[in-house]
Amino acid sequence: MKVLVADDDPITRKGLSMIFEEEGFTVIGAEDGIKAIEAFEEQRPDVVCLDIMMPGKSGYDVCRAIRKIDEQVPVLFISAKSEEVDKVLGLELGADDFIVKPFGVKEVVARIRAVTRRTLSQRRADEEKLPFVMADLEIHPTELRIYRGEEAIEISLRDLKILSCLFRRRGEVVDRDTLFNEAWGFNHMPNSRSLDQHISQLRKRIELDPKQPVIIRTVHGAGYRFEG
């Protein structure tokens, strides 16, 4: 999934990009409103994140332009403008959420996951978005949640991509480059260390015994496997 991040502040743009990328999105950056509209028309991202005060065209103008093209794509405003009237205007223009700067990473991640769930739910017809079972876990892609009995475990889009890939190829050894490309995208250079670290953290949340995993098994020198 692709996200458009439009903000004239390079530090904020970089910070948001890192958060989205860690969640598993491919990021398209834009430093002003005009470039944001052009990027949307050319790339058709799945989620849009807009600052309000930008050169060329404001975030409000960009939102209006986007809504003329696509009424469904999720739009988040992230802005230092925190007055109630600013939030109301943004929501009336069709935004799905409004986050005030300075923001906390956990808050942004929670909002991103909420928007991602809505986006995935809109694509329910896609069979890859149907729930699937891995060992004692039931994975619900459109919710970005895993259920073990009554326990619900929150996951990121990247976590979902890894698990979906292993599930589709259950019984097979999936090499690290394939998993990395699946979860990080082909624009990133394959990095086994990043993948191994991510899987280590994922195991801590989904395996009953992370030291003896049954869902994501390591095949030394080859990659990972889910037996099915």
Question: Distance between CA atoms of 203 and 215, rounded to whole angstroms?
Answer: 8
Mean pLDDT of the residues in the chain? 88
Global pTM reads 0.66
pLDDT of residue 204: 96
On the question of a common fold for 2-122 and 127-225, the answer reads no
Domain locations along the chain? 2-122, 127-225
pLDDT of residue 125: 47
Q: Please identify every stretch of the chain with a pLDDT value under 50, giving residue numbers as ranges.
A: 125, 127
Q: 1.25.40.10, 3.10.20.30, 1.10.10.10, 1.10.4190.10: which CATH number matches 127-225? A: 1.10.10.10
Residues 6+ apart with CB under 8 A from 218: 224
pLDDT of residue 175: 92
pLDDT of residue 121: 65
pLDDT in tens, 157-171: 899 999 999 999 999
Quickly name the fold that domain 2-122 has: Rossmann fold (3.40.50)
